[in-house]
Amino acid sequence: MVLLPHEGFTVNREGHLELDGFDLVELAERFGTPVYVASERRLKANFRRLREAFRKAYPGETVIAYAVKANYTLAIIRLLLLEGAWMETFSGPELFMALAAGTPPERIVLTGGSRLEKDFREALEAGVGLIVVDSPSELARLNRAAGSLKVKASILLRVNPAIQVPTHPAIATGVAGSKFGVDLASGAAFQAFKEALNMDWVNPVGVHTHIGSRILKAEPFVEAAQRLADFLVELNRELGFEASYLDLGGGFGIPYHPEEFSCPLNLEELAGKVSQAIVGKLEGAGLRLPTLILEPGRSLVGDVEILLARVGNVKETPQGKIAFLDASTNHLLPVLYTGQYFELWPANKADKPPEETVTFAGPLCFTGDVIAVNRRVPKIEPDDVIVVFSVGAYCKSVYSFHNAQPRPPSLLLSEHGVEIVQRAETLGDLAARDRIPPRLYRGETP
């Protein structure tokens, strides 16, 4: 029997897996495969649980700014907006997606790493609420951009606490040598903040950090919160500055492997310990509590969306059985770049025990296009519908076009039924930006 990642999944009398009461085998039949399927119920539950945990634990205000990069499906952004989320957008295109979903600009936190004056001008013209500045040279550019528009920019300074972050190196950010933020320990962050306070068109209102992604323990966040709180105490003591915001970033992990299902990140514990760290430091120094900003992506959307794929060929090789899916590593790119594990199971055999070992490959023309190696599953046959669980974060949003495979549609499940929230990409879409110079139509070598 399949170990299910959350209680929205059930098994019906036909042995089919259901999500929120929708038969996944039927959905695959009706909408074709591959197809992404998201649960509105789970999305709301994830948001509400995180909000409640911090409401209870932190005596100040808490803002949850959804990290749009995780999944920028407009319907998902819109749903979180209606729940009360702010939006964290890293880049101009993400800012556009947040605005296109109807986000009020004052509820947007704009982060970034290497922006030019024109990028800052566009953000200021759009009325973005808070701009997170990554380096002294960004600070200078923002000051010039704001000055040219005669508007004062409210900013948070991103600092690098250079702590130990227990995750894959490619997604650890708050570590020594990372490309992000201004170094805290060397005094560089203090110096940058002091400069910011003296600038004409910049209004520093707090500090920001983001330590990494897929972190399943509370401790690194607590350590980061302590460093930020210490920094606020120092800024107050040395410069008389009092912060309105402390932005702890995101990076809250979710279980992907069944072995992690029993030890997820405990959000209530996280909220309690983080709050304690901040409140202890700041109240000890007689400072008022800033609004705490969190920037969760994966923890809000990761287990909200699944991918349905169908088995095509099944092949016996001297090295074992390979089942080819119509979905590929294009749909699950983290498999390629961080070796991420995704759990999967035949939706039409949800009540069956594992009885064989199968490798699941995509249909693409390269050997590395393998989604899952040597999984214990029920007997796999052509036309089985495979559910790949918890693909809501950083799968659709980093889609890759190997073999010109067009992007699948996305469905949203709710009490309103099944809604298509992203249509399938067409072959015509693939060629939509192409132009063959007319001279090449003459049919002779030019």
Site for a second copy in 277-316 (CB under 8 A): 312-315
Q: d(Cα 172, Cα 252) in Å, to the nearest integer?
A: 12
Question: Scanning residues 352 to 371, which ones bind a second copy (CB under 8 A)?
Answer: 361, 363-370
Of 365, 404, 427, 436, which one is the catalytic site residue? Answer: 365
**Which lies closer to a second copy via its Cβ, residue 344 or residue 421?**
421
Give the residue, chosen from 305, 326, 343, 384, that forms a contact with a second copy under the rule CB under 8 A: 326
Q: d(Cα 334, Cα 41) in Å, to the nearest integer?
A: 25
Q: Does 199 bind a second copy (CB under 8 A)?
A: no
Q: Does 341 bind a second copy (CB under 8 A)?
A: no
Question: Scanning residues 7 to 66, which ones bind a second copy (CB under 8 A)?
Answer: none
SS3 97: helix
In 10 A of CB 318, how many CB atoms? 4
Q: d(Cα 182, Cα 245) in Å, to the nearest integer?
A: 17
Strand partners, 314: 323
Least Cβ distance, residue 442 to a second copy (angstroms):
9
Least Cβ distance, residue 440 to a second copy (angstroms):
5
Q: Does 195 bind a second copy (CB under 8 A)?
A: no
Question: Scanning residues 116 to 135, which ones bind a second copy (CB under 8 A)?
Answer: 116, 134-135
Stretch that binds a second copy, among 3-11, 174-182, 270-278, 282-290 (CB under 8 A): 174-182
Report in angstroms the alpha-carbon separations of 4 from 83, 237, 347: 26, 51, 11
Least Cβ distance, residue 375 to a second copy (angstroms):
15
Taking the CA atoms of 202, 205, 206 and 209 in sequence, report the sign of the dihedral they define.
negative
Taking the CA atoms of 168, 169, 172 and 174 in sequence, report the sign of the dihedral they define.
positive
Both tokens of 36, joined, read 């992404």
**Which lies closer to a second copy via its Cβ, residue 262 or residue 319?**
319
Q: Does 257 bind a second copy (CB under 8 A)?
A: no
Amino acid at 38: A
Give the residue, chosen from 180, 190, 252, 342, that forms a contact with a second copy under the rule CB under 8 A: 180
Question: Which of 311, 223, 239 lies closest to 273, judged by CA?
Answer: 223
Least Cβ distance, residue 396 to a second copy (angstroms):
9
Q: Is 284 exposed, middle or buried (0-12, 13-18, 19+ CB in 10 A)?
A: exposed
Q: Which residues, including other chains, have CB under 8 Å from residue 381's CB and lie 6 or more apart?
A: 311, 314
**Which lies closer to a second copy via its Cβ, residue 16 or residue 310?**
310
Q: Does 75 bind a second copy (CB under 8 A)?
A: yes
Report in angstroms the alpha-carbon separations of 137 from 112, 247, 320, 383, 446: 13, 21, 55, 56, 49
Starting at the edge strand that comes first in sequence, how are the strands of the sheet with 17-19 ordered? 9-11, 17-19, 22-23
Active site residue 395: no
Q: What residue has token string 């306070």?
A: 197
Stretch that binds a second copy, among 53-61, 109-117, 123-131, 236-244 (CB under 8 A): 109-117
Please work out, in degrees rounded to the nearest 5, the angle formed at the alpha carbon of residue 237 by the alpha carbons of 221 and 54: 30
Question: Scanning residues 207 to 236, which ones bind a second copy (CB under 8 A)?
Answer: 212-213
Question: Scanning residues 405 to 434, which ones bind a second copy (CB under 8 A)?
Answer: 405-407, 409, 412, 414, 416, 419-425, 427, 429-434
Helix spans in 240-327 (H): 267-284, 298-301
Least Cβ distance, residue 18 to a second copy (angstroms):
21
Least Cβ distance, residue 64 to a second copy (angstroms):
15
Query: Is the distance from CB of 385 to CB of 344 less than 8 angstroms?
Result: no
Least Cβ distance, residue 385 to a second copy (angstroms):
14
Q: Does 72 bind a second copy (CB under 8 A)?
A: yes
Give the residue, chosen from 324, 342, 345, 389, that forms a contact with a second copy under the rule CB under 8 A: 324
Least Cβ distance, residue 313 to a second copy (angstroms):
4
Give the residue, chosen from 25, 50, 101, 235, that forms a contact with a second copy under the rule CB under 8 A: 101
**Which lies closer to a second copy via its Cβ, residue 74 or residue 233?**
74
Containing H/E element for 322?
A: strand 320-325
Give the residue, chosen from 12, 91, 291, 340, that forms a contact with a second copy under the rule CB under 8 A: 91
- Residue 353, phi then psi, degrees to nearest 5: -80, 160
Residues with catalytic function? 365
